[in-house]
């Protein structure tokens, strides 16, 4: 064997190892995104002031799969029930769960006849959006009622109705970009 063969063999081994490492890194990244945590870019102002338009957030996926169901006040990422290709993913606050009754009275949200304390709306009224949804409205089992914090500028369950639990993608937990917004979500 000559020196040239050894160099070619070393380069070949290096190339194969590099390709395998890149493939492994891509598989790990996709696995993390699919099962653990996924980044999202916020497309609209429906969650202002909690989340600004174009902020980047992280949604964890473990708790809803293995630990607990989504709960009231959680900020949730889910598939758009309208099927709108321009906005396939939405982010809203979970207001009520299956079996509960939601009502909107004079701009105030009631769940099971109890007025909600919603400081994250900064006093914006919660008025009905779709005349085909009548209140009080009982949420079917296996569904959630989602509303944006920016109540006067949010297409949410008041417009499209309850969201199936199978549409939930994750629990939004952290804003990571821009740096001024770097913080946990409440």
Q: Which helix (H) or strand (E) holds 7?
A: helix 3-35
pLDDT at residue number 1: 47
Average the pLDDT over 95-109 and give the result.
Answer: 98
Is residue 144 pLDDT above 60, yes or no?
yes
Average the pLDDT over 15-20 and give the result.
Answer: 88
Higher per-residue confidence, 64 vs 6: 64
pLDDT band at 115 (very low <50, low <70, confident <90, very high): very high
DSSP secondary structure of 31-81: HHHHHTEEEEE--SSTTTTTS-TT-EEEEE-HIIIII----TT-EEEEE-T
Contact between 99 and 137 under an 8 Å Cβ cutoff? The reply is no
* Model confidence pLDDT, tens digit, residues 18-58: 888 888 888 877 877 777 899 999 989 999 999 999 999 99
Higher per-residue confidence, 5 vs 27: 27
pLDDT at residue number 162: 98
Is residue 63 pLDDT above 80, yes or no?
yes
Contact between 185 and 57 under an 8 Å Cβ cutoff? The reply is yes
* Model confidence pLDDT, tens digit, residues 72-100: 999 999 999 999 998 899 999 999 999 99
Higher per-residue confidence, 26 vs 157: 157
Contact between 88 and 80 under an 8 Å Cβ cutoff? The reply is yes
Q: Is 114 helix (H, G, I), strand (E, B) or coil?
A: strand
pLDDT at residue number 26: 84
Is residue 3 pLDDT above 80, yes or no?
no
Q: How confident is the prediction for the chain on average, in pLDDT?
A: 92
> 90 pairs with which residues across the strands?
78
Distance CA 117, CA 124 (A): 12
Contact between 13 and 5 under an 8 Å Cβ cutoff? The reply is no
Distance CA 17, CA 76 (A): 40
Q: Output the six-digit token pair for 185.
A: 């979500």
pTM over 0.85: no
Contact between 102 and 112 under an 8 Å Cβ cutoff? The reply is no
Catalytic residues, by residue number, are: 46, 92
CA angle, corner 57, sides to 155 and 94, nearest 5? 45
CB under 8 Å, gap of 24 or more: what pairs does 16-25 form?
none
């Amino acid at each position: 064997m000559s020196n040239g063969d050894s160099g070619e063999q070393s380069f070949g081994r290096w190339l194969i190892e590099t390709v395998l490492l890149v493939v492994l890194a891509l598989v790990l990244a996709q696995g993390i995104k699919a099962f653990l945590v996924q980044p999202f870019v916020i497309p609209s102002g429906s969650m202002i002031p909690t989340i600004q338009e174009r902020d980047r957030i992280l949604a964890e996926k473990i708790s809803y799969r293995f630990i607990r169901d989504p709960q009231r006040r959680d900020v949730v990422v889910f598939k758009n029930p309208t099927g709108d290709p321009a906005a396939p993913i939405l982010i809203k606050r979970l207001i009520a769960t299956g079996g509960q009754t939601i009502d909107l009275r004079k701009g105030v949200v009631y769940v099971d006849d109890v007025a909600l304390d919603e400081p994250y709306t900064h006093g914006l009224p919660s008025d009905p959006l779709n005349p085909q949804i009548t209140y009080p409205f009982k949420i079917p089992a296996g569904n959630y009622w989602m509303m944006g914090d920016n109540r006067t500028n949010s297409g949410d369950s008041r417009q499209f109705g309850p969201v199936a639990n199978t549409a939930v993608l994750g629990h939004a937990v952290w804003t990571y970009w821009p740096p001024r917004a770097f913080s946990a979500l409440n």
